[in-house]
Chains A and B, each alone.
Chain A
């Protein structure tokens, strides 16, 4: 049931864009995105509910395709502060929130 994230790791230069994907084999109720910096607790970025909506701010946004049971996180013009591990969490009808293995993002100056 664990969602599959890709890629496993990304190295970017400051200002470049990145896309992180998350896919599930089960029908999804919602998708969560979190970022975790080393030694810290994960921090909430956004949640997307059924409906194919796209959410987010100017530089960090996400989409949710419920037919394909996939979500993508878009990081535009990346900043050094974006470094960390990104997790997608998939929520199903039974209220469980299951996380993927994470995508490590490293931004170089």
Chain B
């Protein structure tokens, strides 16, 4: 079935460690997005990419990095520079405007 797969679903990390969240889609969509969700804050845009090998910062890009080497993949790295990384992370893809979301990855920093 076509869709977006995020992994891992749950992740724990120690302070000071980098962690990479995977996002893969088989919908043949050009655009992909990463959002962070915190209680009461809605979904905040971290990075987005309209095409392979190109991406733009969203509103809260500091402490995060991404790559878009393949159309199907848009991994997000949460670096040690991100001061408050504990959150729910959602990846989405889009072709005609509608966003298709993955199931999300919940990151907890211990």
Residues of A in contact with B (beta carbons under 8 Å apart): 1-2, 30, 32, 34, 40-44, 47, 87, 89, 91, 94-102
Complex Cα–Cα for A94 and B40 (A): 26
Size of interface on B: residues with Cβ below 8 Å to A: 24
Q: Across the interface, do A96 and B101 meet the contact criterion of CB distance under 8 Å? A: no
Q: Is the CB of B44 within 8 A of A44?
A: no
User: Which residues of chain A have C-beta atoms less than 8 A from B44's C-beta?
Assistant: 2, 99
Q: How far is the CA of A96 from the CA of B101 in the complex (A)?
A: 16
Which B residues are within 8 Å of any A CB, using their own CB? 31, 33, 35, 40-45, 48, 50, 56, 58-59, 90, 94, 97-104
B97 partner, pick from A47, A98, A100, A101, beta carbons under 8 A: A47
Contact B42 A101 (CB under 8 A): yes
Pick the contact of A91 from B42, B56, B97, B102 — CB < 8 Å? B97
Known: A95-B31, A96-B58, A97-B33. A41 touches B101 (CB 8 A): yes
- A32, B97: Cβ atoms under 8 Å? yes
Across the interface, do A1 and B43 meet the contact criterion of CB distance under 8 Å?
Answer: no
Across the interface, which residues of B come within 8 angstroms of A43, CB to CB?
A: 101
Interfacial chain A residues near B31, Cβ < 8 Å: 95
Q: Given A32-B97, A41-B104, A89-B99, are A96 and B43 neighbors across the interface (CB < 8 Å)?
A: no
